[in-house]
């Protein structure tokens, strides 16, 4: 039987959550880089039930298609034979709350990051497939069109930068408070939300992807790494970034 196929974006924190869960649990899979716009017709055929925006990651199997990071992590939990328990029994409400906060921070951060990308010709060029970067200004115009389409798609084209930054800040502040209330780790260990590594940590770590991308995991060029960094949020949440980097060093 063919291995599950993960359609993903190498620079997407949503995709990184799915990859990390599959890797932690030792689930074998194939991966394929999804091309926005160009790959949308295929994705529409796979997701005939979808009524809203089409998104990745998507895990394709012969008998079903999983279309959400948490759903893929649940699959990894069930199918994997190694690694930590990602969804400890009785902790679903806590994990759901932390996941919702992470998604709020990510949605706002994406709006800010894409707006910065629009102002950076090098970042626009990096968004193109490698085979198309020779197209110069025409290719960058295509990238800009795609980014504006994404901003409209996720309804983050209208709020001001300050409004988006406030949304991200509120969610990140709640994550900080929840982490502060977590059990103290053993000496030399990284603090985790539930006292053990779980999906709560994976999703909270990705909440910071548009504050400052991690050094590993998300694959992007230097211009996009610059565009995905928000100096104001990074300064305010330096402690969370340090926690995220320690989590990656220990578990990724």
Residue 97: which pLDDT band, with cuts at 50, 70 and 90?
Answer: very high
**How much is the average pLDDT of 58-68?**
89
The answer to whether 74 touches 67, Cβ cutoff 8 Å, is no
Give me the pLDDT at residue 115, please.
95
Q: Point out the least confidently predicted range of 5-14, 43-52, 145-154.
A: 43-52
CA distances from 248 to 141, 153, 164, 213, 235 (A): 35, 31, 26, 11, 20
Residue among 83, 90, 72, 91 nearest 18 (CA): 72
Give me the pLDDT at residue 128, please.
81
CA distances from 198 to 69, 91, 154, 217, 224 (A): 14, 10, 28, 17, 29
Give me the pLDDT at residue 40, please.
72
Express each pLDDT in 138-196 by its tens digit. 888 888 888 898 888 877 778 899 999 999 999 999 999 999 999 999 999 999 999 99
pTM comes to: 0.90
Select the more confidently predicted residue: 22 or 216: 22
Residue 39: which pLDDT band, with cuts at 50, 70 and 90?
Answer: low
Query: Average pLDDT, whole number, for the chain?
Result: 91
Give me the pLDDT at residue 49, please.
64
Give the DSSP letter string of 132-158: GGGGTHHHHHHHHHHHHHHHHHTT-SS
Residue 33: which pLDDT band, with cuts at 50, 70 and 90?
Answer: confident
Residue 211: which pLDDT band, with cuts at 50, 70 and 90?
Answer: very high
Q: Which range, 37-41, 126-130, 134-138, 211-215, has the best average confidence (pLDDT)?
A: 211-215
Q: Which CATH class is domain 5-79?
A: alpha beta
**How much is the average pLDDT of 17-42?**
87
């Amino acid at each position: 039987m063919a291995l599950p196929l993960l359609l993903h974006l190498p620079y997407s924190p949503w995709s990184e959550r799915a990859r990390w869960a599959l890797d932690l649990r030792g689930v074998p899979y194939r991966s394929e880089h999804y091309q926005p716009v160009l790959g949308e017709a295929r994705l529409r055929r796979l997701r005939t039930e979808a009524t809203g925006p089409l998104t990745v990651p998507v895990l394709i199997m012969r008998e079903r298609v999983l279309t959400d990071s948490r759903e893929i992590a649940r699959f990894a939990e069930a199918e994997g034979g190694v690694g930590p328990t990602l969804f400890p029994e009785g902790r679903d409400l806590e994990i759901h709350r932390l996941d919702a906060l992470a998604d709020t921070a990510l949605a706002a951060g994406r709006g800010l990051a894409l707006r910065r990308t629009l102002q950076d010709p090098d970042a626009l060029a990096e968004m193109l497939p490698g085979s198309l970067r020779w197209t110069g200004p025409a290719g960058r115009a295509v990238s800009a069109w795609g980014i504006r389409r994404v901003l409209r798609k996720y309804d983050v084209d209208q709020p001001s930068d300050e409004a988006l930054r406030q949304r991200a800040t509120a969610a990140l502040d709640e994550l900080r408070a929840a982490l502060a209330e977590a059990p103290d780790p053993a000496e030399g260990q990284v603090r985790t939300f539930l006292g053990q590594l779980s999906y709560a940590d994976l999703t909270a770590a990705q909440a910071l992807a548009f504050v400052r991308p991690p050094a590993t995991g998300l694959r992007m060029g230097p211009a996009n790494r610059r565009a995905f960094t928000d100096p104001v949020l990074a300064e305010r949440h330096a402690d969370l970034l340090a926690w995220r980097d320690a989590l990656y060093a220990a578990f990724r």
